[in-house]
């Protein structure tokens, strides 16, 4: 795009051109009434398939969408300047739209169709909001998005309902064997809401004129030729099966006629020629809806021909507007004058297109209108194929007749406004026209003219679709032709032209009249009211529910916890169940329990941070004792390790925080909290007793022991549960640990994931403050490499010696716990904690450089490797045809050690081990090393001013 500039649009035009070529290649099959089908499995378990299909109607739509797409993309190459900003974004949105629209047209699966449907909505949003700095364009984009996604959501519900009723999401299958009943009626109407909103039918019509904020090529393509036809296409696809749905014809015909009249009437007073066309499009869409929703052969034939004609003439007209706008810099029809003389080619093209729109011979629009009158007049007869009462048929005829007069009038207004030389208006300043710029509209209008003489061919193309419907006169099927004889349709056509001319002649009077009889409300106003009310409601609800206080939210959560299970408990207690309790299994539990309760109460009363944590730690160690007494050595071991790590980490952070909690005035609300807490505690205890004593089923875990040995090849049931039976759970848990570690690191390091690992060698000028004993580098004969970086009063030689002696033993022990954990107490968690403790001892003895020497790796690398190893060992079995996280075992003879029993889930445990080790390392790096550095920096800041003063 950057190198080619605007010429890139010509390259992009090749994409839809390929679609045109493909569609033409399929024409033989399709015109014989055949259907091209392609189906690919997508999500077989949910029954989703990518079903693409091409029948006569879709073939025609593909040609329209892709063909007009080629012309419009080529036109863009002259419409935009090279300097235009946002062209890359524009062209990608545009080409994405072309793809989505083509997908929409050929989708057979309803859900797939919905996906494409919403994709076109999104592209439309992006293209209307092409200029995000302009508020009007932003507003129009949001409005179009809101209206069409509202319809889209209704449609999704309808489609799901329809799919459920029919038992399939294939449109072909649904239409072949349509379901019926109330649910189906609701489903069809929901789908229709989506279709009507997309096609800008009353009451959703207001978004389309707003969408004219988009660049003109977008208006020509999305909002005239293709996207707004999507709703009509859906109606056309559904009408063979659902035309007899209650309300279908009365509502759709009424809405269609009303839309046609509203759009035409409004178009008659527009000053901006582009807005004039937009209202004309709304009018035409209503007209097309009338024809496509009737469900008779003649109407379908006329409707489809008119869809084709409309795509051709409306995009021609929009492209002409784009040219006029570019050359003169205005779209105001009171300012434009004498443009037609300067750009005759464009004026002729637009004139032909306008003639087609007005239904003049010999253009395609005329062919469509002739057959249209025939189709509508059928409705005025008794026993017509659509089953409409003759009086209603007459109403439709009159409505469309009036609408057609408006069409002729606003066509004239447009042509006069854009191209005529107006007396008393200064001729517009017209820039020179680049000849290829006009090629698009000329080509499209010529096509409209040419097809006017090809009535038989167009009839043939549409016949496979039209033959789906009953015909009023099967002996003499209607066809498209320039001359049907001097019959009523021709007279009606002539009448519309005459009345239209008259309406054009009195245009100023009409505008005054329109001003005086303005409707009290407009769709856009209602839309704004709804938007405003929804917004106000959201503000009120949020303002009421979100009080902004964390403790209030927590209180609500606790109350809900209490209310839900608590109610169940009370109800169960009312039944007077037999409560089966024992005081204790072991009197030791009572002793430990009392200590824990006392510690908890004193924790609450504590005003000092450190004391509170130590007392809370007492409850933790108490838990470990309870686990031992219960017969759960694994968790006891882990609990003790975790409690120790927690305490050290807490102390590392608390050196930065004040000793005492902030003093705040005791408020009465405290008693409320106490009461709530007491009820929570009592409630939990009650639930445990009631639920426990009413348990009748046997625990699922009674089979765990045997299963652990048979399938997990391990004797430590808890460990096998973690790495095999419930391994998914464990995997989720270590992922949470990774997230927590990342969160901690980012809160402390702020700017980077970690501060990097600063080795001893880099500490040439140690920043340990005054009194550093040695400069960096490893002093000879020292027990540990790095304590020299600490100030002497922080060093303890005994500690250093002990650390030196036990560090490696602890690491070896942790590896032993890891490997043996499958059969003996231990496992990845405990082993990782032990390894973490070893690192912690090194850090405490020798400071942050000692930690870096102990494990000169970034904590994130250790954690990430752990998660990777765990995932890899989980996925490994797939390669051997097993399930994810399945365990296998193998016996290996190793010299000296004898036969080893290797179990594949050890790999998973190694991952856990690494994650846990990495987590502890991360905590030491952040709360330890990083805070050390922050404290030092602050000390220096404090010292510095004194030095200056001294």
Partner 1 sequence: MDVNLTLVLVAGALIGCGAYLLLERSLTRVLVGLVLLGNGVNVAILSTSGPAGEAPFYGTADIDDMSDPLPQAMILTAIVITLGTVAFLLAMAHRSWQLTGHDDVQDDTEDTRIRRLAVDDATSDSFGMTTRGEDDDDPEEDGQ
758 secondary structure, DSSP code: -
* 3-class secondary structure, 325: helix
d(CA 823, CA 15): 64
Write out the binding residues for partner 1, residues 19-58 only, by CB under 8 A: none
Of 145 and 372, the one with the shorter C-beta distance to partner 1 is 145
Q: Does residue 519 bind partner 1 (CB under 8 A)?
A: no
Of 26, 29, 421, 514, the residue at the interface with partner 1 (CB under 8 A) is: 514
In angstroms, what CA-CA distances link 45 with 49, 73, 172, 332, 582?
10, 40, 21, 58, 50
Among the listed residues 130, 262, 613, 843, the single contact to partner 1 using CB under 8 A: 613
The nearer residue to partner 1, 796 or 823, going by C-beta atoms, is 823
* Residue 248 within binding range of partner 1, rule CB under 8 A: no
Interacting positions 195-214 with partner 1 (CB under 8 A): 209
Among 612, 810, 841, 870, binds partner 1 (CB under 8 A): 612
Give the interface segment with partner 1, choosing from 61-69, 341-349, 372-380, 712-720 (CB under 8 A): 712-720
In the complex with partner 1, the residue whose CB is nearer, 117 or 829, is: 829
Rounded to whole angstroms, the Cα distance separating 926 from 852 reads: 12
> Applying CB under 8 A, does 657 fall inside the site for partner 1?
yes
By CB under 8 A, tell whether 528 contacts partner 1.
Answer: yes
Single residue of 83, 133, 662, 752 touching partner 1 by CB under 8 A: 662
597 lines the binding site for partner 1 (CB under 8 A): yes
Check if the beta carbon of residue 912 is closer than 8 Å to that of residue 866.
yes
Residue 814 near partner 1 by CB under 8 A: no
Residue 792 engages partner 1 in binding (rule: CB under 8 A) = no
Which 375-414 positions form the footprint of partner 1 (CB under 8 A)? none
Cβ density class 519-538: b for 16+ within 10 Å, e for less:
eeeebeeebeeeeeeeeeee
Which residue lies nearer to partner 1 by CB, 204 or 527?
A: 527
Q: Yes or no: say if 293 and 209 are a contact pair by the CB < 8 Å rule.
A: no
Tell me the backbone φ, ψ of residue 827, rounded to 5 degrees: 110, 170
- Region 531-560 residues binding partner 1, contact defined as CB under 8 A: 531-532, 535-536, 538-540, 542-544, 546-551, 554-555, 558
Residues 563-582 that bind partner 1 (CB under 8 A): 579-582
- Report the largest interatomic distance among the alpha carbons of the chain, rounded to a whole angstrom: 118
Query: In this complex, which beta carbon is closest to partner 1, that of residue 700 or of residue 764?
Result: 700
The CB-side HSE value for 321 (13 A sphere, CA atoms) comes to 29
Binding positions for partner 1, 854-893, rule CB under 8 A: none
DSSP structure class, residue 52? E
If you compute the radius of gyration of the chain from its CA atoms, what whole number of angstroms results? Answer: 40
| Site membership for partner 1, residue 752 (CB under 8 A) | no
* Residues between 670 and 689 that touch partner 1 (CB under 8 A): 673-674, 676-678, 680-682, 684-685, 688-689
What's the closest the beta carbon of residue 899 comes to partner 1, in angstroms? 18
| 666 is a site residue for partner 1 (CB under 8 A) | no
Nearest approach in angstroms of CB 628 to partner 1 is 9
Cβ proximity to partner 1, 684 vs 782, nearer residue:
684
Mask of contacts with partner 1, 731-750, x by CB under 8 A?
--x--xx-xxx-xx--xx--
Of 262, 218, 194, 236, give the one whose Cα is nearest residue 86. Answer: 218
Nearest to 106 by CA among 22, 177, 17: 22
Q: Find the binder of partner 1 among 115, 172, 600, 815 (CB under 8 A).
A: 600
Residue 119 structure tokens:
């994709």
* 54: β partners: 36
Binding test (CB under 8 A) with partner 1, winner from 616, 763, 851, 859: 616
Q: Which of 26, 29, 330, 823 binds partner 1 (CB under 8 A)?
A: 823
Out of 64, 355, 400, 717, the only residue in the binding site for partner 1 (CB under 8 A) is 717
Q: Which positions from 256 through 295 interact with partner 1, judged by CB under 8 A?
A: 269-272, 275
Give the residue among 861, 858, 827, 856 at the shortest CA–CA distance from 842: 856
Of the candidates 233, 374, 378, the one whose C-alpha atom is nearest the C-alpha of residue 292 is 233
d(CA 534, CA 538): 6
Q: Distance between CA 209 and CA 223 in Å, rounded?
A: 9
The HSE-up count of residue 78 (CA atoms within 13 Å, CB side) is 22
Binding footprint of partner 1, residue count (CB under 8 A): 143
- CA geometry: angle 528, 530, 535, nearest 5 deg: 95
Shorter beta-carbon distance to partner 1: residue 254 or 823: 823
Q: Is 926 among the residues that bind partner 1 (CB under 8 A)?
A: yes
Q: Output 481 or 511, the one with its CB closest to partner 1.
A: 511
| Beta strands 36-43 and 889-894, pairing class | unpaired
- Judge whether 27 and 74 are in contact, CB under 8 Å: no
Q: Does 632 bind partner 1 (CB under 8 A)?
A: yes
Length of the chain: 950
């Amino acid at each position: 795009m950057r190198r080619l500039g605007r010429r890139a649009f010509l390259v992009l035009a090749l994409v839809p051109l390929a679609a045109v070529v493909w569609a033409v290649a399929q024409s033989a099959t399709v015109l014989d009434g055949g259907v091209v089908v392609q189906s690919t499995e997508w999500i077989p378990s949910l029954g989703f398939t990518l079903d693409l299909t091409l029948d006569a109607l879709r073939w025609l739509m593909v040609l329209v969408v892709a063909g007009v797409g080629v012309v419009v993309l080529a036109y863009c190459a002259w419409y935009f300047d090279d300097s235009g900003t946002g062209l890359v974004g524009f062209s990608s949105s545009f080409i994405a739209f072309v793809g989505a629209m083509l997908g929409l047209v050929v989708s057979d699966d309803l859900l797939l169709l919905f996906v494409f449907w919403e994709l076109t909505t999104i592209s439309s949003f992006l293209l209307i909001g092409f200029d995000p700095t302009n508020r009007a364009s932003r507003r129009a984009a949001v409005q179009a998005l809101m209206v069409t996604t509202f319809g889209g959501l209704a449609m999704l519900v309808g489609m799901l309902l329809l799919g459920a009723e029919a038992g399939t999401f294939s449109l072909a299958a649904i239409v072949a064997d349509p379901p019926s009943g109330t649910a189906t009626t609701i489903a069809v109407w929901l789908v229709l809401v989506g279709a009507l909103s997309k096609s800008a039918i009353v009451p959703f019509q207001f978004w389309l004129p707003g969408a004219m904020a988009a660049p003109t090529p977008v208006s020509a393509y999305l909002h005239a030729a293709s996207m707004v036809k999507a709703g009509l296409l859906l109606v056309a696809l559904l009408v063979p099966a659902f035309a007899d749905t209650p309300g279908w014809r009365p509502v759709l015909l009424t809405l269609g006629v009303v839309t046609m009249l509203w759009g035409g009437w409004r178009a008659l007073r527009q000053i901006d020629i582009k807005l004039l066309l937009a209202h004309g499009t709304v009018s035409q869409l209503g007209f097309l809806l009338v024809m496509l929703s009737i469900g008779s052969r003649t109407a379908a034939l006329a409707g489809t021909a008119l869809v084709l004609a409309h795509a051709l003439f409306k995009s021609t007209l929009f492209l002409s507007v784009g040219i006029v706008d570019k050359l003169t810099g205005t779209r105001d029809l009171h300012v434009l004058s004498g443009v037609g003389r300067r750009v005759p080619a464009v004026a002729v093209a637009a004139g032909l297109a306008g003639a087609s729109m007005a239904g003049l011979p010999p253009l395609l629009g005329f062919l469509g209108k002739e057959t249209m009158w025939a189709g509508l007049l059928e409705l005025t007869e008794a026993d017509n194929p659509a089953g409409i009462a003759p009086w209603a048929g007459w109403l439709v005829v009159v409505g469309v007749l009036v609408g057609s007069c408006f069409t002729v009038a606003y066509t004239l207004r447009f042509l006069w406004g854009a191209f005529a030389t107006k007396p008393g208006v200064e001729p517009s300043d017209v820039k020179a026209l680049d000849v290829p710029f006009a090629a698009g509209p000329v080509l499209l209008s010529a096509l409209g003219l040419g097809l006017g003489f090809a009535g038989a061919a167009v009839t043939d193309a549409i016949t496979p679709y039209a033959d789906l419907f009953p015909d009023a006169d099967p002996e003499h099927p209607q066809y498209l032709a320039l001359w049907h004889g001097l019959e009523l349709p021709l007279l009606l056509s002539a009448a519309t032209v005459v009345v239209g001319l008259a309406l054009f002649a009195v245009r100023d009077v009409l505008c005054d009249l329109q001003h005086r009889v303005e409707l009290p409300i407009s769709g856009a106003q209602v839309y704004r009211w709804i938007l405003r009310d929804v917004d106000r409601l959201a503000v009120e609800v949020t303002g009421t529910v979100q009080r902004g206080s964390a403790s209030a939210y927590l209180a609500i959560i606790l109350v809900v916890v209490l209310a839900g299970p608590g109610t169940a408990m009370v109800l169960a207690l009312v039944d007077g169940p037999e409560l089966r309790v024992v005081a204790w299994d072991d009197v030791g539990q009572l002793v430990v329990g009392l200590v824990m309760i006392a510690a908890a109460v004193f924790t609450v009363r504590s005003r000092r941070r450190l004391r509170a944590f130590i007392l809370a730690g007492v409850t933790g160690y108490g838990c470990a004792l309870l686990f031992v007494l219960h017969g759960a050595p694994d968790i006891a071991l882990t609990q003790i390790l975790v409690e120790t790590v927690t305490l050290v980490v807490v102390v590392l952070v608390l050196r930065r925080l004040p000793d005492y909690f902030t003093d705040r005035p005791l408020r009465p609300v405290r008693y409320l909290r106490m009461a709530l807490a007491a009820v929570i505690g009592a409630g939990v205890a009650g639930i445990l007793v009631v639920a426990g004593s009413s348990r009748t089923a046997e625990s699922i875990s009674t089979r765990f022991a045997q299963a652990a040995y048979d399938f997990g090849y391990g004797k430590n049931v808890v460990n096998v549960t973690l790495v095999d039976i419930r391994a998914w759970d464990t995997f989720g848990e270590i992922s949470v640990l990774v997230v927590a570690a990342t969160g901690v690191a980012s809160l402390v390091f702020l700017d980077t994931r970690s501060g990097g690992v600063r080795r001893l060698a880099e500490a040439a000028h140690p920043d340990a403050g005054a009194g550093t004993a040695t400069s960096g580098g490893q002093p000879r004969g020292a027990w540990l490499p790095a304590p020299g970086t600490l100030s002497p009063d922080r060093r303890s030689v005994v500690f250093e010696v002990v650390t030196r002696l036990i560090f490696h033993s602890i690491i070896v022990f942790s590896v032993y716990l890891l490997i043996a954990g499958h059969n003996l107490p231990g496992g990845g968690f405990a082993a990782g904690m032990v390894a973490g403790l070893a690192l912690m001892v090194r850090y405490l003895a020798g400071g942050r450089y000692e930690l870096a020497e102990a494990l000169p790796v970034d904590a994130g690398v250790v954690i990430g490797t752990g998660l990777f190893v765990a995932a890899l060992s989980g996925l490994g079995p797939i390669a051997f045809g097993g399930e994810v996280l399945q365990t296998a075992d193998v016996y290996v003879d190793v010299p000296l050690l004898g036969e080893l029993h290797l179990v594949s889930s050890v790999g998973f445990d190694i991952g856990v081990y690494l994650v846990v080790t990495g987590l502890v390392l991360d905590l030491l790096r952040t709360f330890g090393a990083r805070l050390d550095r922050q404290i030092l920096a602050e000390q220096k800041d404090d010292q510095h001013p004194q030095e200056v003063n001294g």
